[in-house]
Structure 1
């Protein structure tokens, strides 16, 4: 089927299109044929010389989809100085924000390019700087696996303001934000996100961790056992059991992995225990002996039980290697050297078609 035929099919009257769809053997045929994605690409930094409107970059498998279904020309027009920037995407929805530096005007919208609909989200009180805040799209019933759409979404805003972390939640159809906050020291560092929770850490001799449940907007805090004053990085990974691990990178090529102890603590408290200590060395990993120093990288793999580590000489030598380390088997897999022409300012936001519940139910079987 060529591009012209696809356009004719999309322009058919609804009653004729319904007859065609009813004649198919299974609704799965529609999903398999059309469930392609187009990543939405927007520069992290504004391109002052060009258009400030985010653009869609088609994937090769979506070349036959009409481009008009992915345009953002339906969102409210903004001045050339600010424009719209993409903050997050989920399902068929995009979360866009705009901030005018002169007037301090800030706007946040949720839109669906396929149906060309958008909703303006009222600002929380006091307002939040959208550019620096964490902003996430969630399904309205995320805990029970509910779908997300223009009538069933939530927006989470999370910002570090002074000596506290502030979290705000907006639900579609409402007019106000729910808000929670927790006091923290001025110097608090983000760890990341895993299994529905966001983590931060602080402390000099000990490591105190603050966690936020994105769905319930509930904060909790705990102290990692032991002396972690020499920590350099703290990252998250998922163990082979599917549970979150906090990995601390310390001096002397030492990695400490902490796991949450089930059933420990009382009255909502949680306790984490030291699960494993790893002394990373070139001999242990079967790597060149010139590699003397090892540390965790900020970008970590999604594979269970894996962490990404950088090994280097530390002197005039330019030997530098990156590899994945299986924390269960201690097996290392070297990674190719990243290309120097990679543009790290580009972020991709996946966008999916919004399928009716009847179609989504069909994917659970082979009817």
Structure 2
């Protein structure tokens, strides 16, 4: 940070030149904002904002956080487990302690009794939960700004179907790269029985659920992650990748890379958004240390083939991909060390650099990564507008959404 601090000091002297020196035009606030938004770390930005009143005014302007978030990805702050316990990321993540001090990870602001809510998913700084004993009562919340939105009840279209954790899977999905509304999110509820499956999608924009017609269910598929408006899962035999496109409201099957087709053997698979609509897939066969990375275009079909980009040899065969991914970052869970029972690592999709982000002598139950900006760079990401208008009555559109042109 030494070089960045020197540049900030030079900017400050340039902005406040002595009267006896040759007069020069002050640096416009717009140009200062463009400079500050490109500082590599939030610590550098905090240092710059503390340098003088002018710099602080630029950083404190309402337009600056949005500009900053367009260029920088939200940093990892820690992990939420199934019991809603927050585990801060290990140093050198500088914003972890500050965010933990401001955020309410106990979720005490949820409808009482707050202890009844069980975590389902975490995405883009939001947390999706359901009320214990009622799998259809859902809430999405923003722990940093203590906001929540109760979702309307999920409509029931399947005869003799009782929603439960045994015949449903629910996911929280953020916006795409092109979305300008940072408060947008959707919830995907996939319900199934022995023969068929149906998906319901809630949009925070409309405050409504939209349903697909029931389709023949692929044998015992389980869902992984979402990327670019699509949800991805594996069939029971790990021979196909099942895709649910929220824009077309359609299910489809896509071929897997040969290395992911393991037959009866278990394989760890994780999906990431690699940028510009490119889907990335990490494949780690069980009890092996070779992690392979494939990419394919997200064109909604199976015409384009998976292309192997890189194979990374890990230092042991005790890694799993159960933690999933956020954006262009993959998380790996390491088990089996005699001195450290739980270690979580992150891997950048571009550099493939492995970095330890959490370690504990105790295991973590169903950890999910929590990424967000510290308070001075963040805004509420759960709007209560729909809630205030009384979104509590089921509203369903049965017609599929047309795909964007």
TM-score by length of 1: 0.54
In structure 2, the CA distance between the partners of 1:23 and 1:92, relative to structure 1 (3 Å rule), is same
Shift of 1:271: 2.6
- Within the candidate set 260, 266, 274, 1:232 is matched to 266
Partner in structure 1 of residue 364 of structure 2:
343
| Structure 2 SS opposite 1:26 | helix
Tell me, yes or no, if the aligned pair for 1:260 and 1:270 is still in contact at 8 Å: no
1:27 & 1:327 partners in 2: Cα distance? 30
Kindly indicate whether the alpha-carbon contact (under 8 Å) linking 1:237 and 1:304 is maintained by their aligned counterparts in 2: no
Which of 200, 219, 234 in structure 2 is aligned with 1:186? Answer: 219
What is the RMSD computed on CA atoms of the aligned residues?
Answer: 5.7
Tell me, in whole angstroms, the C-alpha distance in 1 between the residues paired with 2:355 and 2:86: 34
3-state SS of 2:267 partner = strand
Native 8 Å contact 1:246 1:259 kept in 2 = yes
Question: In the alignment, which residue of structure 2 is the partner of 1:136?
Answer: 172
Partner of 2:296: 260
* 8 Å Cα contact 2:228-2:273 kept in structure 1: no
Tell me how far 1:260 sits from its aligned partner. 3.0
- Which residue number in structure 1 is paired with residue 156 of structure 2? 125
Match of 1:97 among 126, 130, 141: 130
Q: Is the 8 A contact 1:97 1:109 kept in 2?
A: yes
Q: Residues 118, 234 of structure 1: CA spacing in aligned structure 2 closer, same or farther, 3 A cutoff? A: closer
Instruction: Indicate the residue corresponding to 1:218 in structure 2.
Output: 250
CA distance in 1, matches of 2:80, 2:293: 36
Secondary structure in structure 2 of the residue aligned to 1:75: coil
Counterpart contact for 1:136–1:156, Cα < 8 Å: yes
Partner residue, 2:379: 354
- Maintained 8 Å contact 1:256/1:274: no
Question: 26, 49, 60: which is aligned to 2:97?
Answer: 60
> Which of these residues, 44, 56, 63, is aligned with residue 82 of structure 2?
44
Give a deviation string over 1:156-182, Cα, whole Å, max 9, x none. Answer: 223444334432112247564211254
Contact 2:139 2:150 in 1 (8 A): yes
Return the offset for 1:217: 3.3
Q: Which residue is equivalent to 1:166?
A: 198
Q: Does the 8 Å contact 1:88/1:137 carry over to 2? A: no
> Where does residue 77 of structure 1 map in the other structure?
112
The equivalent residue for 1:360 is none
Whether the 8 Å contact between 1:194 and 1:236 is mirrored in structure 2 is no
Instruction: State the secondary structure of the residue aligned to 1:61.
Output: helix
Task: Decide which moves more: 206-215 or 126-135.
Answer: 126-135
Task: Quote the offset at 1:60 in angstroms.
Answer: 1.8
**Contact 1:237–1:305 (Cα < 8 Å) also in 2:** no
Q: Which one has more relative contact order, counting CA pairs under 8 Å at least 6 apart?
A: 2
Q: Secondary structure at the match of 1:212?
A: strand
Contact 1:86–1:96 (8 Å) recurs in 2:
yes
For 2:243 and 2:126, locate their aligned partners in 1 and report how far apart those are by CA, in whole Å.
26
Aligned length in residues: 292
Q: Post-superposition shift, 1:233?
A: 0.8
Shift of 1:98: 0.3
Residues 57, 108 of structure 1: CA spacing in aligned structure 2 closer, same or farther, 3 A cutoff? same
SS at structure 1 position matched to 2:98: helix
Structure-1 separation of matches of 2:319 and 2:55: 55
Q: Which runs of 5+ in 2 are unaligned?
A: 1-52, 89-95, 337-342, 382-405
Q: What is the CA-CA distance between 1:235 and the residue it aligns to?
A: 1.6
1:139-197 Cα distance to aligned partner (Å, 9 max, x none): 4xx46313243xx5432223444334432112247564211254233332444444443
Aligned runs of 1:268-287 on 2, under 5 Å? Answer: 269-273=301-305, 275-276=307-308
Report if aligned partners of 2:242, 2:254 keep a CA contact under 8 Å in 1: yes
